[in-house]
Structure 1
């Protein structure tokens, strides 16, 4: 049962409702302070995931090659376009709140959709739970997502809660895919996979505190190629060294 995915979707749903009702009373200093805390929490989760890795070279190769692939195919732009189409569908049912022009509303909503539906942490968490049932990453992410949804809902309104629906669908698809891949893996490959996800969580943390805007969306392919590279490193390259 995808417990982490259900909790994560509920956190966005409830956080959006909470923010729409009382979030307007949050001061800008309070919001900025929370965002800084979110960033350091993401970095902490990343460091925790990286620590047990087995093949550092494989992880580094995967991150570099995966990011290169993402940049070449403009994955970040593709994700933004998909989010824009999703935004158009959602906006048919919910209009922009009073005091917020439609252009700003649309641009911010696209950002929120990408954040909740296509973040490296979310994808990594869904895949991890699908492979070994570990919901820790998604449960930790849910705490951050609840308050993030509340902050965005303070400006965007109840529309933020609706993002829980596509998020749940996307994560369930990833969960089912990972569930079928897990029997083909070994413990070392799993640790390297977690380490690659940890790198993305570190990059996300840097973006949250606005220290460095890493292309986290373009780094997502690293999560796809890390296991084949880890297997290749252990079975082909290491015996030759």
Structure 2
């Protein structure tokens, strides 16, 4: 079942969130230190992903064009509005903002090599091992994020399921249309572009900056288009 890994990933995020709510009495200074630790780890992960690029000019152009598109359509504002709508519907009795938790967790769980590669493996080969590994990591991350950012982290499970499920579904047919060399380039440059965004999320989690990371998301698609153009001209 090519969607099994995706569903397990979403389930672990939900379970991690519930355990995080049970542990919400963790002292504030401990939460802050733990969040800084997660932020630093996320920054290192982003750097590792960014360094995978074989043509960093693609990453730069993708980020610039993606930022322009994201600002024009106010993508971060729309995600925040969705989080605020959820907050109004269910209320927020715990610590943290539903909007902040939803946006931050969604960006962390969706952007990254494991989401793309895992979903592709699931669709192409029926191999869910990468997504199972990601599910465990996301579950623990959701637990920690929930203790600081609140129940909004729970709702990030749904974009994750939709995103990974769509890639897995597309992957069941992708090998008929996309050559392996092009697919490898897609993954490499999209991973590197996403890595820079992951690094920015880490900066936000440490409190050093407040970068509107969601507005860079169109850069993922832009990087894929640029790679396709380069491949065609070669």
TM-score (norm 2): 0.78
Shift of 1:151: 3.5
Q: Distance in 1 between matches of 2:169 and 2:81?
A: 24
- State the aligned residue count: 219
Equivalent position of 1:20 in the other structure: 21
Equivalent position of 1:86 in the other structure: 86
Query: How do residues 81-120 of structure 1 correspond to structure 2 at under 5 angstroms?
Result: 81-89=81-89, 91=90, 96-97=92-93, 108-117=97-106, 119=107
Query: How do residues 180-219 of structure 1 correspond to structure 2 at under 5 angstroms?
Result: 182-183=174-175, 184=178, 185-219=182-216
Q: Distance in 2 between matches of 1:44 and 1:59?
A: 18
Q: Which moved more, 1:159-168 or 1:42-51?
A: 159-168
Query: RMSD in angstroms over aligned alpha carbons?
Result: 2.9
2:148 paired residue among 127, 130, 151: 151
Q: Distance in 2 between matches of 1:218 and 1:182?
A: 27
Q: Which moved more, 1:133-142 or 1:197-206?
A: 133-142
Shift of 1:18: 2.2
Query: How do residues 48-59 of structure 1 correspond to structure 2 at under 5 angstroms?
Result: 48-59=48-59
Alignment check: 8 A CA contact 2:83 2:102 kept: yes
Equivalent position of 2:125 in the other structure: none
TM-score (norm 1): 0.76
Query: How do residues 51-70 of structure 1 correspond to structure 2 at under 5 angstroms?
Result: 51-70=51-70
Shift of 1:161: 7.4
Shift of 1:160: 5.0
